[in-house]
Structure 1
Amino acid sequence: MTRSESSTYHSQGWERAKRLLEALIFSSSKPVSEEEIKRVSGLMGVAIEKAVDEINLELSDHPFEIVKTDEGWEMRLKKDYMKLFYRFIEPELNKAELKTLAVIAAKGETSVSEVLRIRGGSASNHIRKLIRMGFIKKERRGRRTVLSITEKFNKYFSLEKNPDKL
């Protein structure tokens, strides 16, 4: 292989790794870890940062960018666009569901009947949805059904490093 062919190959390999990185981050609904990036694209460490810088330069005229957060790498709207479009983004949970979740999280562990007493009968639907989404779990303990938060709850609300923040 000539020097020119080798340079072209490495350039194509770099571009392919960048595109894989971009596609992975774009398609993920949650931040992507460096381990996942390495597994998919082969990039790691400063190579990830260099690739992200190049991708963001290519995206400079676009409304989104790739950023690093405590949880990993993610693609999101730039701040100027977020201000314009935040009202169109549907939250995963409505206010009533969040209040029900807050009751369960604040108590750490509580019975279904206690949540229904505090939040009312409509909380039954909230509880089903929260279980389906993986934010809470339900356990039978004798005649009682107990609700508690899950690891997914901690990760989603960025509490996995310090659950005592709740």
Structure 2
Amino acid sequence: MSKRGRGSRDERERKAIKLIEAALYVSGRPLDLKTLGSVSGLRSKRTLTKLIKQLKENYANRESAIEIVELEDGRYVMQLKTEYTAKVRKLAVRPLLTTGPLKTLSYIAFRQPVSQSQVVAVRGTHAYAHIKELERMGLIQRKKEGRESIITTTEFFSDYFGLSRHLPKLKEQLKKILFGKEDSKLTP
């Protein structure tokens, strides 16, 4: 290959990396290879994966507070590293949830599948309003089992917070975020 051809390819790859980075930044949610390929103009999954890996390494090498994570389903998300979240949370334009609904959501995420009556018993009667709000936002879902409603988080919940969709893995991630270790015991 001529220098000119290689230089042209290198330039296209640099531009593609910038477009991938921009897409991950702007979306604020996990993106699949098809979407990233469409944005970057790349058709080859191999090339796309190689460039995403380079971008991930760039962030890791400069010890950035931001990381690019590959989720177990093959999607990628740009997110703030967990160790910085608590320190800058107050600077967010508008929090997704106020403290009460967030605590209710945390309890549901840890205990799922969990009955609505158990959530209300632990969180109080105000949890009914929290559950309605969380369901309206698409973060949880309720299913009737006899006379009881069973609550679980949704795929949107996992995507929004950059967590696994696989329940055991999700619970481990939550423990690591809250307790800083993977073998912590959950307490009510």
Cα 1:31/1:106, change in 2 over 3 Å: same
Q: Is the 8 A contact 2:108 2:119 kept in 1?
A: yes
Matched, 1:137 2:138: no
Q: Which has the higher contact order (CA 8 A, sep 6+)?
A: 2
Q: Which runs of 5+ in 1 are unaligned?
A: none
Q: Distance in 1 between matches of 2:162 and 2:10?
A: 40
State the partner residue of 1:22: 21
Q: Secondary structure at the match of 1:100?
A: helix
State the partner residue of 2:68: 67
Q: Is the 8 A contact 2:56 2:69 kept in 1?
A: no
The match for 2:124 among 95, 113, 120 is: 120
Q: Distance in 2 between matches of 1:69 and 1:25?
A: 12
State the partner residue of 1:10: 9
CA RMSD of aligned residues (A): 4.2
Matched, 1:150 2:153: yes
TM-score, normalising length: structure 2: 0.58
Q: Which runs of 5+ in 2 are unaligned?
A: 172-188
Cα 1:34/1:94, change in 2 over 3 Å: same
Per mean C-alpha deviation after superposition, the further-off stretch among 130-139 and 155-164 is 155-164
Q: Distance in 2 between matches of 1:82 and 1:150?
A: 21
Q: Distance in 1 between matches of 2:2 and 2:31?
A: 35
Q: Is the 8 A contact 1:66 1:73 kept in 2?
A: no
Q: Distance in 1 between matches of 2:87 and 2:152?
A: 34
TM-score, normalising length: structure 1: 0.63
Q: Distance in 1 between matches of 2:97 and 2:112?
A: 19
Higher gyration radius (CA): 1
Q: Secondary structure at the match of 1:44?
A: helix
C-alpha offsets along residues 74-130 of structure 1, whole Å, 9 cap, x if unaligned? 43457997675344246533432233231586262424x554454333223211211
